[in-house]
Structure 1
Amino acid sequence: MALLCFTLPARAGLFDDDLARQRIEQLRSDVNALTQRIETVNSNQLDFANQLESIRADLAKLRGQQEVMFHDLDALQKRQKDFYIDLDNRLRKLEPAANEAGTPTPPAKVDSAKETRDYETALNLLKASKFKEAGASFLSFIETWPNSTMQDSATYWGAYAHAQAKDHKQGAALFEKFAATWPQDERAPDALEGEAESLKALKDFKAAHAVLQKLSDKYPMSDAGKRAKRELKLTHIKKK
């Protein structure tokens, strides 16, 4: 009995040590597992932050490209306007020489000088980017001088002026009239493109698509026709 009394506390102490070691090992394992989870979370957060930064960089790049495209488009439209205005002026300067060479002259007008002044007034307003006033002036010219040899230019620039003034309904109507009345004019493809843009601004996308299709089919080699073809192809891909 005496021997038993001495051995039992020793064995109890041994069991306590083993249990303590097991608990310590379990605690150490739990700590390691938690540490691994924290490291995994931190790693995921770092990856997410890197991905977010990459997305932001791509977005900034795309915005920059968009701004460049808008700037190029504005510059292109300005060059196109200046080109046609210059061409219009050159052609009208050639008309007197052509008449002197024996080309049949148009029917006499009540006041050809006033006709010219009215057209110049509208054109000068357009050059000054006073689009609303220019549009109204061109419309007045079209109604006042229905037999004028400048009806084509007045119609085209009237359409352009109205579109720039955000009067897209009138702009679309005049662009359509120009393309239908003077289909052989070099500005006809641009007129159809302008009509499509005005229709899109009016959210009449079905009609705009039809005009782009007409432009692509009728003037496939023109710059406007090529742009229409690309847009139609892109629209077709999006629908798929």
Structure 2
Amino acid sequence: MRPVRIALFIAALGAFQAQAGVFDDDEARRQIADAKAKAEARFDQQAKAQLDLAGQIQQQAEEISRLRGQIETLGYELETARKRQQDFYLDLDTRLRKFEAAATAAAPVAPDSAPSAKPANDPAKEGSEYEAALNQFKAGKYKEAAAGFGAYVQKYPDSSLAPNAQYWLGNAWYAQRDCKRAIEAQSVVTGKYADSAKAPDAWLAIATCQQELNNPTAAKRSLDTVIAKFPGTPAAEAARDRLKKK
């Protein structure tokens, strides 16, 4: 009888262990499934975050590209405006010089009452040398133009074209991005040739250089000087426009 009981106990124990094994497998599967679901959820969340970040990077890249395009456009427009202004002044300078030459040729020549202590300059030679320097400037050869205009004002300081040459000397230095020398040259126009037609434009050029040298106070003072000294001139109007934009 006893052996039968032992056999039944062993069978029951085996069935219990089998059932326990089934329960362990189900729990393991459930845990694996939960872990897999959590991993997939984290992956989805990370993927979404990466997509959002990629979208933000793309938007920033597009914004940078747009801003770069605007900067390039503004730079082109500024350079175009500067070129138009330069061409305008060159054309105006040429017209005024021709008018002055015609007026000089038409003026009556007074007889000499006494020998002159200083020989008169040759207007044709002066004009030729001035024209040569101006052509260098027109061709974009600013270094050569600066040398030509500098030599001209040294050689012909009392010439009717001296204020113009001094003004273009300042512009030639500015074109080489040497604002210090440009201001020095234009200051001669506003000082020595203060009554010339180039004086108000020289003040404007000085203000431009002062602004580029991060000296807005001095630039404003120069613009105010244009308005005060030369009211009703195009230079004064340009100075007012600049002050409004500040």
Alpha-carbon separation, structure 1, partners of 2:242 and 2:17:
92
Q: Is 1:31 the counterpart of 2:36 in the alignment?
A: yes
Partner amino acid, structure 2, of 1:211: A
Cα distance change on mapping 1:22 and 1:130 into 2, 3 Å = same
Counterpart residue number, 2:205: 191
Cα distance change on mapping 1:11 and 1:222 into 2, 3 Å = farther
Alpha-carbon separation, structure 2, partners of 1:27 and 1:216:
80
Q: Do 2:207 and 2:223's aligned partners in 1 also have CA atoms closer than 8 Å?
A: no
Counterpart residue number, 2:69: 64
Q: Do 2:210 and 2:219's aligned partners in 1 also have CA atoms closer than 8 Å?
A: yes
Tell me which of 58, 74, 78 is aligned to 1:53. Answer: 58
Residue 212 of structure 1, CA deviation: 2.4
Residue 151 of structure 1, CA deviation: 2.6
Q: Do 1:119 and 1:154's aligned partners in 2 also have CA atoms closer than 8 Å?
A: yes
Identical residues among aligned pairs (%):
30
Partner amino acid, structure 2, of 1:214: R
Alpha-carbon separation, structure 2, partners of 1:175 and 1:15:
102
Alpha-carbon separation, structure 1, partners of 2:64 and 2:239:
29
- Return 5+ residue gaps in structure 1 as ranges: 103-107, 234-240
Counterpart residue number, 1:91: 96
Alpha-carbon separation, structure 2, partners of 1:52 and 1:15:
55
Residue 90 of structure 1, CA deviation: 2.0
- Return 5+ residue gaps in structure 2 as ranges: 109-118, 228-235
Q: Do 1:213 and 1:228's aligned partners in 2 also have CA atoms closer than 8 Å?
A: yes
Greater shift in the superposed pair: 93-102 or 53-62: 93-102
Alpha-carbon separation, structure 1, partners of 2:29 and 2:72:
64
Alpha-carbon separation, structure 2, partners of 1:24 and 1:81:
84
Superimposed CA distance per residue, residues 162-190 of structure 1 (whole angstroms, 9 cap, x where no aligned partner): 22234443223213433455488441453
Alpha-carbon separation, structure 2, partners of 1:215 and 1:29:
78
Partner amino acid, structure 2, of 1:210: T
Counterpart residue number, 1:125: 136
Q: How many equivalent residue pairs?
A: 220
Counterpart residue number, 2:152: 141
Alpha-carbon separation, structure 2, partners of 1:129 and 1:209:
29
Counterpart residue number, 2:13: 8
Greater shift in the superposed pair: 64-73 or 134-143: 64-73
Cα distance change on mapping 1:43 and 1:219 into 2, 3 Å = farther
Partner amino acid, structure 1, of 2:135: N
Greater shift in the superposed pair: 180-189 or 8-17: 180-189
Cα distance change on mapping 1:190 and 1:227 into 2, 3 Å = same
TM-score between both structures, scaled by the size of structure 1: 0.76
Partner amino acid, structure 2, of 1:163: Y
Superimposed CA distance per residue, residues 77-113 of structure 1 (whole angstroms, 9 cap, x where no aligned partner): 11111101111122223335666699xxxxx943233
Alpha-carbon separation, structure 2, partners of 1:23 and 1:132:
86
Q: Is 1:162 the counterpart of 2:177 in the alignment?
A: no
Query: Secondary structure, in 3 states, of the residue corresponding to 1:187?
Result: helix
Residue 123 of structure 1, CA deviation: 1.2
Superimposed CA distance per residue, residues 194-213 of structure 1 (whole angstroms, 9 cap, x where no aligned partner): 4226x63xxxx3xx333323
Counterpart residue number, 2:217: 210
Query: Secondary structure, in 3 states, of the residue corresponding to 2:140?
Result: coil
Please provide the CA RMSD for this pair: 3.0
Residue 225 of structure 1, CA deviation: 5.4
**Which structure has the larger Rg?**
2
Q: Is 1:111 the counterpart of 2:122 in the alignment?
A: yes
Superimposed CA distance per residue, residues 42-78 of structure 1 (whole angstroms, 9 cap, x where no aligned partner): 1111111111122221222222222212211221111
